[in-house]
Amino acid sequence: MKHTPVISGVGMVPFAKPGASAPYYEMGAEAARQALADAGLDYGKVQQAYAGYVYGDSTCGQRALYPLGMTGIPVVNVNNNCATGSTALFLARQVVASGAADCVLALGFEQMQPGALGSYYHDRPTPFELFDHVCDELVGQPDVPLAIRYFGGAGMAHMDRYGTRAETFAKIRAKASRHAARNPVALFRKEVTVEDVMDSPVLIGPLTRLMACPPTCGAAAAIVCSEAFAKAHGLDHQVRIVAQSMTTDTPNTFEARNMMQLVGCDMTRAAADQVYEAAGIGPEDVDVVELHDCFATNELLTYEALGLAPEGGGEKMVEDGDNTYGGRVVTNPSGGLLSKGHPLGATGLAQCAELVQQLRGQAGNRQVESARLALQHNLGLGGACVVTMYQAT
């Protein structure tokens, strides 16, 4: 029997630059406390916990959660690169939907080091050998950090195929800054112009420094309950997870010899298609989206992979203003990874927190009017992609 999963509480600490944050275990504990307080729930009611982070020891989740109470529950530590937070959410949702547990905590945190952009994926698992071979063949420039080569190369591939302009990516970054200016917990709240973005140092191809997300420290959490449990305990149950999918790479990721495929467009498209089919809801019905804009290039690619724009139509979506307030679907009202920040293990749950607030009508001056359907996209190379559909009841 399938049980309807609901998000009864969310929490998030303000994101910070490396070296300026509390220790990971303090951030994680605080985000969990906020989620419990938001739900009006005692930690003793939580039956399982999934704790996500990329950099750390094997039981960092216990270190973060023990201050809340040593209740003896299962604590599962999760690492799935930049999709780690959503992977923790995926596991929590799955166990609740199956009926194996009624109330589960999903937690994500990251304490990153200065200069993390340059060392991104420095300890690469075996799959990255395949990524590197394709990237070396198509992009070259081996002295450039890997993440920049991957996502810069993907942007260049889109430009070559569809005639997309570098200024379009700059417009995405400027939009992110306008959204973040409304978000009190975003790392960078200063608005930047297209000219500012284009004039910042070039990293590779169309990518400039301001088109890359900053290394960030932070934590976020969500309480996932069955609808029946939430009702029985007087918890908020107005935001449901109506569909969710996780996908990984297929041979085409490498065999296509296409940088857009290499950075996860196929994974994203497959996960989104599965979610739309399961929910009986299409991309045209979505009101608000939080997607994985680790680089401005990837936001545009993701518009198309999620079906928010037709293939090759991402630039038109930007030019028409259909990715922001007053347009067809507001993307990354939080400011996204580009402005809000990207603490790897926390990102997916920070996206969840933003969308839950949007669907509850609690997003303040960044509120998307009449938001009822929300879509979340969280991507990790190596690879994993989680797409989640939320609905306000």
243 belongs to a structural domain: yes
Percentage of residues in the chain having pLDDT higher than 90: 89
DSSP 99-158: TS-SEEEEEEEE---TTTTTTTT-S--THHHHHHHHHHHHT--TTS-HHHHHHHHHHHHH
In this model, does residue 208 exceed pLDDT 80? yes
Catalytic residue (choose from 82, 103, 213, 217)? 82
Residue 115 pLDDT grade (very low, low, confident, very high; cuts 50, 70, 90): low
184 belongs to a structural domain: no
* pLDDT value, residue 257: 92
57 belongs to a structural domain: yes
pLDDT per residue as tens digits for the range 244-279: 999 999 999 999 999 999 999 999 999 999 999 999
**Residue 368 DSSP class:** P
**82 among known catalytic residues:** yes
Cα separation, 196 vs 332, whole angstroms: 20
Residue 149 pLDDT grade (very low, low, confident, very high; cuts 50, 70, 90): very high
154 belongs to a structural domain: no
159 belongs to a structural domain: no
111 belongs to a structural domain: yes
**Higher local confidence (pLDDT), 29 or 147:** 29
Domain count, the chain: 1
H or E stretch including 200? none
In this model, does residue 331 exceed pLDDT 60? yes
Domain limits at 271? 5-115+214-388
pLDDT per residue as tens digits for the range 116-138: 444 444 445 556 777 878 888 88
pLDDT per residue as tens digits for the range 40-86: 999 999 999 999 999 999 999 999 999 999 999 999 999 999 999 99
- Mean pLDDT score of the chain: 94
* pLDDT value, residue 122: 45
Amino acid letter, 258: N
Cα separation, 268 vs 317, whole angstroms: 18
H or E stretch including 57? none
CATH code, 233? 3.40.47.10
* pLDDT value, residue 127: 63
**Sheet with 48-52, edge to edge strand ranges:** 75-78, 48-52, 103-110, 218-226, 5-12, 239-247, 384-392, 373-380, 288-290, 330-331
183 belongs to a structural domain: no
Residue 175 pLDDT grade (very low, low, confident, very high; cuts 50, 70, 90): very high
- Confidence (pTM): 0.95
18 belongs to a structural domain: yes
In this model, does residue 168 exceed pLDDT 50? yes
**Averaged pLDDT, 87-112:** 97
Cα separation, 61 vs 18, whole angstroms: 20
